[in-house]
A and B are shown apart, each in its own frame.
Chain A
Amino acid sequence: MNFRRFLLVVSAAAEMLSCSRTCVAVFGVVRIRQQTQYSSPVRPRTSFSLTWRALIACVLLCHGTAAWPQSPSGSYGEAIDLLRAGQDDLAVRKLATVTTYEIQEGRATLFNAFASKQRDVSERAAATMRAAALVHTERAFAAIARDNEKEFRDQLAFAESYIDKLVAADHRSAFVRTWRVLVLGFFHEARMVLAASQFARRAHDASGDSAEFLLALGVTEEMAWWIHHEEDQDPGMKGDLKDAERHYRQALILAPDLIEARVRLGHVLLLRDDAEGMKILTQVGETTDVQYRYLASLFEGESLEKRGDLAEAERRYAAAVSLIPTAQSAYLALAHIRHARGARADAAEDVRATAQASGVGDISDPWFLYSRGTASRGRTYLDEARRMIAP
């Protein structure tokens, strides 16, 4: 066996192990020894001897498969393990201590294992890559909370590099689909609608539609429109209610029971003064979910108020209040309408009733959840994604 052939054998063995670091180590040792042999004044050993040694090396390597690292070691590996253990905060903090070089090295290890022809090795690597993608995603959005945009971009890019590998191997990857709607939920929470829109476009091209993904697309347009038109801020895009409507309708074709898409469809239609919105919200009002019935009443009241039917609007707001007395938006809508028609004492009483309520959580109002886009679905998405990261 000549040297070239020897390298091929070792490389093949290393490929079987799917571990680049092991590969480099073994390769390095053998090559150094061989160079030493040729530079030695002692007669070079025979090709038989070399072949024998190579074969022994291969056997040893193959025998020791389980012992060779197939996932990142050190702090990077610990961060991933912490996430798997459900300790997200600790995982994110641990990841902060990992250098870019260590991440790249760990990622290369995983990519090699993922490319292995041994199915169990590849599957284990895929699960670890999913966990790595999640921990980088969580760190990315933690960076946004600290206004660290560079860190956010870097971390999301690491996460996306894992996702790209996973989706290249499995176009219909359930994890990738969940991860994408999870990320869109994070973007909504941070009100980064332009980034959400750009991200959604990339994701849409890569893996097509699901009802939840279409819902998130619609929400992105609706949120952008809302921030731009109702909050008078510049979210970087104006948002298009027609696009939102289209996405919601498509989502409902795929999943007719997705009530959130129905409520949002009704809302955007009313925002566009389309009477069909009222019909849709009336249907929603017949559902059993009190949160969606509350929102339907609130949106109906808003539409009636806009049309000048204050008495009927007041009735709808009052109906919303009776559905969820601890929610605040309907109370304030009611107070406002009473204040405007001169019933100041009633308005003040409404404000006191809702603002003095004790023991009511900050997100006790379905409107607060609605205004955060799909962020409120994030917990469900995260739990779903988490089920797919076990080794």
Chain B
Amino acid sequence: MLQQIEGSRAVAETVARCRPEVVCAYPISPQTHIIEAIGAMVKAGELTPCEFINVESEFAAMSVSIGASAAGARAYTATASQGLLFMMEAVYNAAGLGLPIVMTLANRAIGAPINIWNDHSDAMAARDAGWIQLFAETNQEAADLHVLAFRLAEELSVPVMVCMDGFILTHAVEGIDVPEQGDVDAFLPRYEPRQVLDPAHPISIGAMVGPEAFTEVRYLSHLRQLDALELIPALAAKFALAFGRPSGGLVHSYRTDDATTVVVAMGSVLGTIKDAVDQRRALGDRVGVVGITTFRPFPFEEVRRALSGAHRVVVIEKAFSVGYGGVLAADVASATHDMSLTLHSVVAGLGGRAITQHSIESILDDAAAARLPSVTFLDLDRDIVNSERARIGERRRSGPSAENVLSDLGSVASRIG
């Protein structure tokens, strides 16, 4: 039933309908509403059998999830930003052990400077951890992806991270059709673990592996991720049949048929980009969008196919590798290395800076006029940057950049957006 509810609420209800048996999480903005809601459902006896375990940190939350999953329970957790970094050793272990934990990542910037707002730095920090990473464009998709995530995780015995933009999605109220219990039960079979700690049939999980076999065990993880490239579209097709709407999949193209310029992006910014594309299409520009739903494993073939007609590709992404440039742009460049196209990396929306349709259209104008550099920081305030650069050049003890920049900027309370 379609309801006008908050994204976090929809995710919490959907996760509950996936019948997790252990939920262990530590609260951190902007993930908090999801965990509070699930906690309340467990306490009220609406989600049963399920144990909600309170712990002292994110490291413990993932460690408990690992233990629960290894003992054969369907395990769920959620985090964001510094919370993900704090649990990172265990995040790698979950993947290395092949435990099908599902985690929501309410995408948020990473400090310092401390910042609670949205970008994709946290997801990028876990890019190489061995988890499947799915990005939601809308709250409907954020909810649906969790049903797909449990099925995918358990079929492959790989953990899955569902990335949803913090605040922009988690705190947005919109019409969402929370998957019905009966439909979820029909789509998501009982968890049959591939490996389980069972006192009746003792085994050990987590052996030390030396140079004699480490490469092979790692390669097996790689193969499982490559299997996901086959399974994800198949599950998305099944999901569409079962729930009557599309969700999940690898990549999604919008108005790319005759497009010479294609924008590539992930997450909720795709909506604003689609509005910008419609606007440019009305003016006769041949522009389109490709949304990446599955970031890890990276769908090289599908990205190539989606960009096959493009002369110019603009990758708009909410994270970058300091000293390198856009992370997604590098992957897209790798996928299209032998194709004849010009690639631009646009870093945008860092630390919650709004990505406006106006700015996206300016980028498209610059690209069309061949004046867009290969790497751009959207809406960068050059005056502020130059003033701090000058201060650093003038004296040794120039002080902390974050504080200096804030002082140059003055009051921001009067600003909107």
Do they bind each other? no
Give B residues with C-beta under 8 Å from A. none
Give A residues with C-beta under 8 Å from B. none
